[in-house]
Chain A
């Protein structure tokens, strides 16, 4: 149980275009999902916390207009990188919290590698 999927697993886009990444909880309903960014050989940095039916909470320094997060249902959160630039190239990982389980445990997706050319 507690499986989280991400789609796509990798994407290449041209500078100036937008790209959407989906995060799905497959066997539980996730009221809260988290989006992380990971640079090569570095740790995970929390970008935002996404709560179903409400606006996402962004961490300091994360541009909310650039990284649009939508959590429209209990099983799906999306991250849209708008007007992507090469510096947005990174590994993006989502996680989801199962509200019926231990409240601080997060289940992680496999990640999405974004390359902006």
Chain B
């Protein structure tokens, strides 16, 4: 079965600083990978996804993520964080043999200092 690990439960960065949120997955074949963002009391918004092709994926709100097969990672990055980016971020993996279901990581809470 597939699994996702987000090693950092909380991250605090200063506004304007760069950001990298880590995501490691476990799956036997090429996974389908997603990053979602959740504001307090809200549902999930898709930031970006990877399923094939270019391993550097561009998403909304200035986010990007890079798929590194050798490291089983799909880290999320943003060059300059804005205060509005403060939220919970979830990495998820989808697998063909799992009936379209997604497995989510534990989430990383991002706080932005002014």
Residues of A within 8 A of B (CB): 4, 6, 32, 34, 41-44, 46, 49, 57, 91, 93, 95, 97, 102-111, 113
Contacts and interface: CB of A to CB of B under 8 A. Distances in A.
Interface centre among A4, A6, A95, A106 (most CB of B within 10 A): A106
Top 8 nearest A-B pairs (CB, nearest first) are: A104-B94, A108-B44, A110-B43, A108-B43, A104-B32, A43-B104, A43-B106, A111-B43
B100 A104 contact: yes
Contacts of B32: 104
B49 A32 contact: no
B41 A43 contact: no
Given A44-B104, A108-B45, 7 more contacts: A42-B107, A43-B90, A43-B107, A46-B102, A57-B99, A105-B49, A110-B42
Interface of B: 32, 34, 36, 41-46, 49, 51, 90, 94, 99-107, 109
Contacts of B44: 44, 93, 95, 108
Nearest to B45: A108
B47 to A, nearest CB: 12
Contacts of A44: 44, 90, 104
Contacts of B45: 108
Contacts of A97: 100
Contacts of B42: 110-111
